[in-house]
Structure 1
């Protein structure tokens, strides 16, 4: 019995290898990790070996029950960060996430970033107020180990990147509400990232920039979301290895899209409040194989003269915004016009209202290439039925027709649609019809 009691008192966990204990600690909050240092001498400095650190001032204080943040609370949390980042800098940091919108002394904040850089941080995620960061964060510009950099700031933060900045390992950049001081600052950042593959820029002002020039020979994925004050600015994209482009914005004054022959997929949502011609933009992406367009983007594309030919496009999806549906009847032409410019199209998805009329001449893609069609917003009315019948009659390669009915379409009406379409003449012998 004594031997059994002795075995039960053995601390088996503390006898585990450091790597296993560090893995266990990775599931705890920062505060809980620090508390383990008082368990025994074995645990005293284990927290300093954690490769991934996540500090969320507001979130952690809120989870501790604080509805407002006293100075002493913020100071106490700051001391915790000091202890984990600075006091015991025994190992490299793989990832540091720091969310801090509270009143932290800028010098203290810079000390944290400096410690992370000194410890070879690879993935840095900062969600902070700009008062804690100077416009030229020199401490970051000396970091050669960064692989991922994410900055979420506020609109009054301006990033000034000097010539000579060098990030040899940086592959991913995500900037939200980060503005550039001038054209040269953009150029310095991109030229200094010799390994850059993924760039996301969201919610930024173009008031300081005349030409937002994104030129990079290795860039593979580019996302541009919501620029502001872009009435007179240009956007230049020169990326021979770009495979994915997402662009969600109003048209800017002008575009120069070059060397996008590798583009595979594009997701485009453009509104045209400036009434600028979009021909240059769409001609620049006409080599794409998969394309998602919003309603307004489709309308803008259809206004181009001449209409660009998407010779390699295999998949097209027209994304419908519910609040725009009443304006379809104001369009002079719809999707039927674009189909003649898509000779290789195999998969098509659209809301039935985007097809304003039936093409007088059957598009070549429908006669030989189109395999899958999905029509949304469908009802048991003559116009909708007529559109579906057109595809059945002319779709020689069609294998799948999916009908997604309007929200208030009853089961009885769905059954009626199914019976009508099942009895309709069809060109393809291998066609399946699905109605939801």
Structure 2
């Protein structure tokens, strides 16, 4: 080995020793705070650094159990089981985030029950569960946990049967709820599904790609709810009835297939809509327009350029009577490039209106070359939205990035 290579190895070794010594000067509480930013697998590995580090990870009040880096589901779940059994049982578990990727494998019911039982027995406050499985059942004990303040559920059964969210639950401390790929079912009395009415401290609710069975109506009834976020990528048609007198912010991403009906949104001030349409149907543009009519008193509206284009698909939109948005103070438009799927939608719509084969051929060519549509903002759409609030501040935000996609939990 050359002298230069030997010197480099010595310098690297000395650098590792210096780094380790600097960490040794830190208190245990500071080191534990640093370990909280690591996946549990990396945090556990620090036990080999020295005798001082051997048991530090066992004192962590929060665990991030993600399957990243594990080759099989069995290896990962064995690690999860060992981590929970070796952890110091006297330390309350404030947060547990469990995520089993589809590529790693399917979760067994016994492992899920073990994780949930451990979390609840250690006074869990924030619990996240994201996994693929062969079953569609959530342990009932989750929905009677007295300490939970934040619950995130994203469950993907392999056989396609969505997991049912209970009709009611006893979660007196819950303030944040995030649900993905679940189903809501109407009660035996045939009334609308109303699963959130018993959550007396709920402040923030996210519903992503969920469905409604039975009456086709989901009633979001909450006197305390402040923030509501909806994500939708699929053709899930149902009605949302809002009984939310404290609601301040509403945000939506995806294709608008859900009608808003009987809405109690008197306190709603801020609305964000990032709509998308892959296959054009009549419903999404009309539903989007009806949403804006349901929000008459909002003060700020943020939309994407694609959202405005979808609205513009409504025939003779600019001639429709539009009494809403009279209190609008701010209108922000995010100038995002159209997705390829939406450009295809626009092309199909315009081709249906073409009067000759020559006009159709020219349309296909201009779309293929990226020359159509000529502008992100349709002519007249801004004046249409601002007709009842001409003094509202308007901002165009340049978003030089890929089109916005629905956010997963």
State whether TM-score is above 0.5: yes
The answer to whether residue 162 in structure 2 is matched with residue 158 in structure 1 is yes
Structure 1 residues 145 and 327, CA, compared in 2 at 3 Å: closer, same or farther? Answer: farther
The answer to whether residue 296 in structure 2 is matched with residue 286 in structure 1 is yes
Unaligned residue ranges in structure 2 (runs of 5+): 1-20, 347-371, 401-409
Q: Deviations over 1:222-246 (max 9, x none)?
A: 1112164444x22212211111111
Q: Secondary structure at the match of 2:373?
A: helix
1:118 deviates by: 1.1
Q: Deviations over 1:147-170 (max 9, x none)?
A: 111222227353334455111111
Partner residue of 2:132 out of 105, 124, 129: 129
Query: Do 2:204 and 2:226's aligned partners in 1 also have CA atoms closer than 8 Å?
Result: yes
CA distance in 1 between partners of 2:385 and 2:35 (Å): 57
The aligned counterpart of 1:83 is 82
The aligned counterpart of 1:240 is 245
Q: What's the TM-score, normalizing by structure 1? A: 0.64
1:327 deviates by: 8.2
Which structure exhibits the higher relative contact order, with contacts defined as CA atoms closer than 8 Å and separated by 6 or more residues?
2
The aligned counterpart of 1:258 is 263
The aligned counterpart of 2:218 is 212
1:179 deviates by: 2.5
Partner residue of 2:69 out of 53, 60, 83: 60
Query: Do 2:156 and 2:162's aligned partners in 1 also have CA atoms closer than 8 Å?
Result: no
Structure 1 residues 336 and 14, CA, compared in 2 at 3 Å: closer, same or farther? Answer: closer
The aligned counterpart of 2:349 is none
Partner residue of 1:120 out of 115, 123, 138: 123
Aligned residues: 331
CA distance in 2 between partners of 1:77 and 1:238 (Å): 43
Unaligned residue ranges in structure 1 (runs of 5+): 1-10, 62-68, 351-373, 378-403, 405-436
Partner residue of 2:197 out of 191, 196, 199: 191
1:190 deviates by: 0.7
Provide the aligned C-alpha RMSD in A: 3.8
The aligned counterpart of 1:427 is none
The answer to whether residue 167 in structure 2 is matched with residue 167 in structure 1 is no
Structure 1 residues 309 and 24, CA, compared in 2 at 3 Å: closer, same or farther? Answer: closer
The aligned counterpart of 2:357 is none
Query: Do 2:168 and 2:196's aligned partners in 1 also have CA atoms closer than 8 Å?
Result: no
The answer to whether residue 338 in structure 2 is matched with residue 335 in structure 1 is no
Q: Secondary structure at the match of 1:139?
A: helix
Query: Do 1:183 and 1:209's aligned partners in 2 also have CA atoms closer than 8 Å?
Result: no
Q: Deviations over 1:46-67 (max 9, x none)?
A: 332201111111x122xxxxxx
The answer to whether residue 231 in structure 2 is matched with residue 225 in structure 1 is yes
The aligned counterpart of 1:317 is 332
1:305 deviates by: 4.2
Matches within 5 A, 1:133-144: 134-144=136-146
Query: Do 2:203 and 2:226's aligned partners in 1 also have CA atoms closer than 8 Å?
Result: yes
1:175 deviates by: 1.6
CA distance in 1 between partners of 2:217 and 2:195 (Å): 15
1:192 deviates by: 2.7
Query: Do 1:26 and 1:52's aligned partners in 2 also have CA atoms closer than 8 Å?
Result: yes
CA distance in 2 between partners of 1:147 and 1:222 (Å): 17
1:174 deviates by: 1.5
CA distance in 1 between partners of 2:146 and 2:161 (Å): 23
The aligned counterpart of 1:105 is 108
Q: Deviations over 1:84-110 (max 9, x none)?
A: 223442211111111113244320221
The answer to whether residue 309 in structure 2 is matched with residue 296 in structure 1 is yes
1:13 deviates by: 7.2
Structure 1 residues 330 and 243, CA, compared in 2 at 3 Å: closer, same or farther? Answer: closer
Structure 1 residues 208 and 227, CA, compared in 2 at 3 Å: closer, same or farther? Answer: farther
CA distance in 2 between partners of 1:314 and 1:304 (Å): 23
CA distance in 2 between partners of 1:124 and 1:25 (Å): 18
Q: Secondary structure at the match of 1:129?
A: strand
The aligned counterpart of 2:92 is 92
The answer to whether residue 208 in structure 2 is matched with residue 202 in structure 1 is yes
Query: Do 1:125 and 1:150's aligned partners in 2 also have CA atoms closer than 8 Å?
Result: yes
Partner residue of 2:60 out of 29, 41, 50: 50
Query: Do 1:311 and 1:344's aligned partners in 2 also have CA atoms closer than 8 Å?
Result: no
1:78 deviates by: 2.6
1:284 deviates by: 1.6
Partner residue of 2:148 out of 142, 146, 149: 146
CA distance in 1 between partners of 2:49 and 2:106 (Å): 32
Q: Deviations over 1:391-434 (max 9, x none)?
A: xxxxxxxxxxxxx9xxxxxxxxxxxxxxxxxxxxxxxxxxxxxx
